[in-house]
Amino acid sequence: MLVAGCDVGSLTAKAVILSDGKILSQAVRRANSRPEESAKEIMDLALADAGLAFSDLAYVIGTGYGRRQISFVNEVVSEIVCHGKAAQWLNPSVRMVIDVGGQDAKAILVDENGSVVRYVYNDKCASGTGRFLEIMAEALEVPLGELGEQATISQNPVSISNQCTVFAETEVVSLLNNGKAIPDIASGLMRAMAHRIAALAKSIGLEPEIAMSGGVAKNQGMFSALEEVLGLKIMRLEGDPQINGALGAALLAEEAMRKTVS
Ligand SMILES: Nc1ncnc2c1ncn2[C@@H]1O[C@H](COP(=O)(O)OP(=O)(O)OP(=O)(O)O)[C@@H](O)[C@H]1O
Ligand SMILES: [Mg+2]
């Protein structure tokens, strides 16, 4: 049985195709301002990679910020449910998922079936999101993929006093002008952001095992800073954490099909 999940987030579109519980193909790409178009492009990419046509898919679930604009899906499900499902499927001992994407951060508590028990999210402010890190990487003139590594070699992290992204960017530029080292600024930024995400997660009660998903989970500096601030180990899930929303949607598509068969 072939099913798929399609996650159109605020910054990236993701698709996963499952064949009887196994990932057949996956794709991630920057989204444009038209969710419908981004969804179609990413789905076509995942289908081409698997050598399939859309008509081969038995059921498709859409999720993410742009889910209501995806016309080709059979059903839409919230990203919170999808991230919870995928994390618990990847490791059944996961009880809390921290998803940090481009535009928001979420903390989700799940039970042993991957169903959501409680959740909280912050989409009011960019300062706890991936976009914050993108803006800071630009200000530091460091490729985004290297920002986390830079942070891990810091000897003397600076303290960032501004929470607001716009003011923090100005602060970063003046720290650079004052001769502060890039690793120390990067580390200060990660710590500041880790404190905001940790406060969000703590507001619903920390529940080990904790896993991280979303594109920001690829940022090693952020991952370590969050572990340090929480005082807990964060579980590394197998595969690309950025596709977990789409993976959860595909897993739910598979469940939906199983229900119709039984
Ligand atoms: N290779 C990488 N290294 C470090 N960070 C990365 C990398 N790839 C992506 N990111 C981070 O991931 C973020 C995007 O995450 P993701 O794709 O989960 O967002 P999204 O699902 O579109 O957003 P949202 O869930 O908030 O709507 C980027 O802003 C960036 O900070
Ligand atoms: Mg997302």
Kindly report the backbone phi and psi dihedral angles of residue 62, in degrees, each rounded to the nearest multiple of 5, phi listed first: -105, 150
Q: What is the rounded CA–CA span in Å between residue 176 and residue 179?
A: 5
| Nearest partner of 112 among 125, 96, 123, 124, judged by Cα | 96
Sketch the domain layout of the chain as residue ranges: 1-79+242-262, 92-236
Between CA 192 and CA 179 the distance in angstroms is 20
Q: Which pLDDT belongs to residue 124?
A: 83
pLDDT in tens, 85-120: 999 999 999 999 999 999 999 999 999 999 999 999
Q: Is the pTM of this model over 0.85?
A: yes
pLDDT in tens, 132-142: 999 999 999 99
CA-CA distance, 165 to 124, in Å (whole number)?
12
Ligand 1, residues at Cβ distance < 6 Å = 9-12, 64-65, 101-104, 130-131, 133-134, 144-145, 148, 214-216, 218-219, 242
Burial class (CB in 10 A: 0-12, 13-18, 19+), 33: exposed
- CATH superfamily, domain 92-236, is ATPase, nucleotide binding domain (3.30.420.40)
Find all residues with CB under 8 Å of 27, minimum gap 6, and list them: 14, 15, 42, 45, 46, 49
- C-alpha of residue 72 to centroid of ligand 2, in Å: 19
pLDDT at 126: 87
Tokens coding 257:
């099909």
Q: Are 87 and 97 in contact (CB under 8 A)?
A: yes
Ligand 2 (ion): residues with CB under 5 Å are 9, 101
Is 1-79+242-262's fold the same as 92-236's? yes
Which of these CATH numbers, 1.20.1530.20, 3.30.420.40, 3.40.50.1980, 3.40.50.620, describes 1-79+242-262?
3.30.420.40
